[in-house]
Structure 1
Amino acid sequence: MSNIFESFQTASAPPMTPTNKSICPPSYEEAVPLSRHAGHRVTSTASDDILPYNATHDIQPHDDESSVPLLQVVVDQNLHQEQTRNSSRTVPYQVQKDTIVSYDQQINEDGLALAQFLHEHNTPPQMKIKFRGYHRATHFKSRTAHDREGNLVIEERKPKTKQVEDFNFEVDCSYYISPTCQGLYGPKNISTGHQKSLDEVCEEYVLKQGRLRELEVTKVVDWNYIELTQALTAAIRSGGYKHNLVVTYEMKESKITIKSGASPFTNIASSTWVYVACITTMLFLIAWPIYRFIEWIYAKFTSRTIVTSTWGMKISEREFYQNHVTEIVGKTNRKQPSNATITFAPQRQ
């Protein structure tokens, strides 16, 4: 007979040092240079650039599964809903992977109708800041057995290293996004410096020749992500956490896409029932490579038009830090259960 037992030991870092709760987080002005001097690596994401769905500030890539948000507040969208009710015609659209997509023929041929549709659906995006801390641990698995003489023999196996999650939570910042858009702009001409207006972009789009056309609106929140990340990192480090730290900015409801026409293939491919049927019957092994190839062909020969929708924040990075740094640092001192409901009451301006 053999007996299996397991043991764990930390591989990359010692256990967390207990936090001295009497230590207050540094101020915003102290935290930013403190993070820079400490050498905490932060990936740059300029506030005037388009913020991707996962703009990650991390030592290395990771798959971050969120728990329950801290500042979960519904954004008031009455103004946008009123505009939609006043529209003379309802333009059909669908939501695909958190993106509004429309193949409607009229808005592909009428610049004014296209601009009106984009204004109606240009609602504030949703934004969350995700915090994840982890360290690596080595897992040793050993087997005990008896040899022919009856002696006890311990067979050591190769150790396996895995990640151990220390905390994982998120802060919903959607409440702090201004309900008023700063503007919808087309691409800027590098040589002349002219920034195209939305009306100009829409008129040019409908006049384009060719069947494969696409107009994409990407919502951008104007905030200094680099500086805020540096401050939050320094605050968490000052609270005693010394392991791997991930800070991720996640945007949702941040894209609107207009396509020149829906083929029967795209309608079938986007169907949930077709997706489920392919998974259950294993047809995806054949259909998926074909779908990806057609997607590549579509992307290669599609004429794309890019529009940027700029949004501001109701508070500065410094004010957000001051309002919530104590709660954030407190959540990093203990592992959050996956089903925990953590809510902060936002301070209304």
Structure 2
Amino acid sequence: MIFRRNRKPVNGLERLHSEETFLAMLEHERLRSERSQRAFALLHIGKGQRLEKMEEVLKRIANDTLRRTDVAGRFRGALGILLPETNLAGAERVRAKLGIDKAHCQIYVFPSEEFPEHDDRRGQQKRELVASGSGPGKPLESLMVTRESAAKRAFDITAALAGLVALSPILLLAAALVRLTSRGPIFFTQRRAGLGGRPFTMYKFRTMVANAEALKSQLRCQSEQDGPAFKMQRDPRITRVGRILRKTCIDELPQLINVLLGHMSIVGPRPLPLDESMLVKSWARTRLRVRPGLTCIWQVSGGRDVLFDDWMRMDIRYIRSKSMWQDLQLVLRTAYRVLMVRASTG
């Protein structure tokens, strides 16, 4: 950590907001920017910097180098400076004025016309907070992820290991049925948006014909889910064995491997395919601040019958009230729905 409590405050330190307050201000500015269509910038300074160098920056802050509307605070183990109504060029000028070299300062500008590294589409502007400088851009969510408790991660690992061992006969039988009844691989893999919007490969038992993704565009107009997500109750691409696997949710069990790898959690917002995730409204991308999961409020509250925006609101509600007690309740409710053969996850 750059800021140590056992050191005497230096000039400028009294102007620093706590990390919690700074994050709230950052979120407020993002919402204001979406309404006003005016840009803002964020300077993330100091990871790897010597404390003495940071004290020089703090002194410059104290000497009114920043405007009254600018905000400085502790941010992700370093220093964050929020610059309202500032574009990339303006942020670069502030960086230079503070005497910070580019190697120790990442500049984020919102909105940006750049694209996150996993979005290869052209001609479509995405309102993301994207970092300038070396390396690919990073979305706002990559900075504002919620820290996960050790208890939740321990629960995930324990539950995933226990599930893989206890359900191994079912997993082996499902794998054999998929292999013997249709052409194609046993597993269906797909790139999905994970924690902070970072892409990861999600595993499921294959329940569709081998060329299902190629046929998806032809069926898009028949989707029963509004918004960017694609859902069909009677999807013609699904095999006979696949229907059974989906009805019982056995097709989702390989995601226990994703949980062990740290890509997913037992409970959390369902990860969307990358192309669908990039099309959600800006406010809904708050769901990317936690690790995606096997189940969440949406699964036990109607699934595909819920409007897409309401689905996103359920995910955000989970994030704002998340606790181990809530996770346990959702696991039990999901298990009940599966045993009643009523669950249908995405």
> What range is the shorter-chain TM-score in?
under 0.3
More helix by share: 2
Give the alignment's TM-score, normalised by structure 2: 0.22
Give the alignment's TM-score, normalised by structure 1: 0.22
| More contact order relative to length (CA 8 Å, sep ≥ 6) | 1
More strand by share: 1
